[in-house]
């Protein structure tokens, strides 16, 4: 089920380090007029088993497995808005697995790995406290659902297939300030996107729990 379990954390860790290195001069200048938060997080995803359409029917025993992944996010909170309203970018990914009984071959169990990647634009509302910073927000953007090792009758390609869709999310969480520049954060997120592949479609709905660490510029 996990052909590259370490790829996601390694990718996002490298991406965050690269962003910090390349944009540091810009952020130093922007910090005079805004707070800039950058965070790296690990996530646990808990998808709904509903919404699967396979081979002309809706399997009653569909199972969308829980998964784990990682992500990075960056937000800007202008001083002119009281450091309360912010806009940001977020990129994340996690693994899962789809399994169900084939409507075509009675009694035959089929499965495929599912990899979910998303790039979102977020609008965040927060209360800038001293020790703790609670926040809520909404986001939307690009999402892709990638199938791998799809053991599904009727499919000519069992290796990889991607579906690109609009994704949306809402979230809420809290930051805990360790220092003026370093914080920990925990977050709940609800995400939705509709993916369509050959012989398979999924109205993907997932709840996620995030834990991460961030820097403030």
Domains of the chain: 7-216 (2.40.160.20)
Read off the pLDDT of residues 36-57 as tens digits, 9 standing for 90 and up.
999 999 999 999 999 999 867 7
Mean pLDDT of 107-123: 88
DSSP state at residue 14: H
160-177 and 132-151: which strand pairing? antiparallel
Read off the pLDDT of residues 59-87 as tens digits, 9 standing for 90 and up.
878 999 999 999 999 999 998 888 899 99
pLDDT at 161: 83
Buried b (16+ CB within 10 A) or exposed e, 173-195: bbbebeeeeebebebebebbbbb
Q: What's the chain's average pLDDT?
A: 85
Ramachandran area for residue 3 (φ above 0: left; ψ -120 to 50: alpha; else beta): alpha
**pLDDT band for position 19 (50/70/90)?**
low
Q: Which ranges of 105-184 does DSSP label H, i.e. alpha helix?
A: none
Q: Among candidates 80, 194, 98, which has minimal Cα distance to 143?
A: 194
pLDDT at 173 over 90: yes
Could you tell me the pTM of the whole model? 0.83
């Amino acid at each position: 089920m996990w052909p590259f379990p370490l790829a996601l954390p390694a990718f996002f860790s490298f991406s965050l380090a690269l962003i910090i290195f390349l944009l540091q001069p810009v952020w130093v200048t922007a910090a005079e007029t805004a707070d800039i938060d950058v965070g790296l997080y690990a996530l646990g995803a808990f998808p709904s088993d509903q919404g699967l359409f396979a081979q002309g029917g809706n399997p009653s025993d569909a199972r969308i497995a829980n998964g784990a992944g990682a992500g990075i996010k960056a937000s800007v909170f202008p001083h002119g808005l009281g450091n309360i309203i912010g806009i940001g970018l977020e990129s994340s990914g996690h693994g899962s697995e789809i399994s169900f009984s084939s409507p075509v071959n009675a009694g035959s169990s089929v499965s495929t790995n599912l990899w979910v990647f998303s790039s979102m634009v977020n609008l965040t509302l927060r209360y800038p406290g001293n020790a703790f910073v609670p926040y809520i927000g909404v986001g939307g953007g690009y999402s892709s659902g990638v199938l791998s090792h799809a053991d599904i009758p009727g499919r000519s390609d069992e290796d990889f297939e991607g579906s690109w869709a609009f994704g949306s999310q809402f979230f809420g969480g809290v930051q805990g300030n360790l220092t003026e520049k370093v914080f920990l954060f925990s977050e709940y997120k609800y995400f939705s996107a509709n993916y369509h592949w050959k012989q398979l479609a999924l109205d993907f709905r997932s709840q996620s729990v995030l834990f991460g660490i961030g820097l403030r510029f």
